[in-house]
Copies of this chain bind each other. A is one copy, B any other.
Amino acid sequence: MERFEGLAPPKRGAVMAAAFACFGKNGFRKASMADIARAAGVSKASLFHYFGSKKALYLYLTDFSVERISEALDRAASDMPEDFFDRIKRATLIKIEVINRYPGMLEFLYERANESDPEVFSDLKSRERQSLASGFGAFFAGVDLTRFKEGADLRMAMNAVLWIGEGFVRHLPRDAGADTAFRDISAYMDLLRQTFYKEGT
């Protein structure tokens, strides 16, 4: 983790982008350290020097992503809309902003969420989810749970935002401004509202 800080700044971004892209495209199992090293322009031995193992690299990328997103959410926690779904909307936009700042992070998170062998790293998903949930905690304090339809709860709605949301965002051009993102997110939110909320909102 902290060992990685020693990597020279120009190569550091290259390594992260290469690892993000390779894991994002191939999944953990099929992604190879040799490919990542080649794409990053460093030797395979250097990767192991910095991260120790393939799994550790994968974990670092996960923690890195989750931390950046959680930080951004915490920073914005003081100024939040009242309505529950408006909060989700705002949080999703913040997440999009962070993700777009790091090349490959979107593909990485998307791959992590949607598939992967169920055997490998079953612990990781829940870990990441918990970590993000704590980041979201400030947003959803005081939400009236009685307004959710039967079978739907806060956790379901959050997961929908976190993971279905990526599928929605994925097709946006990377340089799309907040306006475009907001328009699409709004339509998505309407769908969510219909799905999880009781009528009469």
Contacts and interface: CB of A to CB of B under 8 A. Distances in A.
Contacts of A26: 26, 30
A155 interface: no
Closest 3 CB pairs of A and B: A171-B171, A30-B30, A26-B30
Nearest to A35: B30
Interface residues of A, number: 3
A25 to B, nearest CB: 8
Determine how many copies of this chain the complex contains: 2
4 contacts: A26-B26, A26-B30, A30-B30, A171-B171
Contacts of A171: 171
A29 to B, nearest CB: 11
Contacts of A30: 26, 30
A171 B170 CA distance: 9
Interface in A1-56: 26, 30
Nearest to A170: B171
A171 B26 CA distance: 20
A118 to B, nearest CB: 14
A139 to B, nearest CB: 30
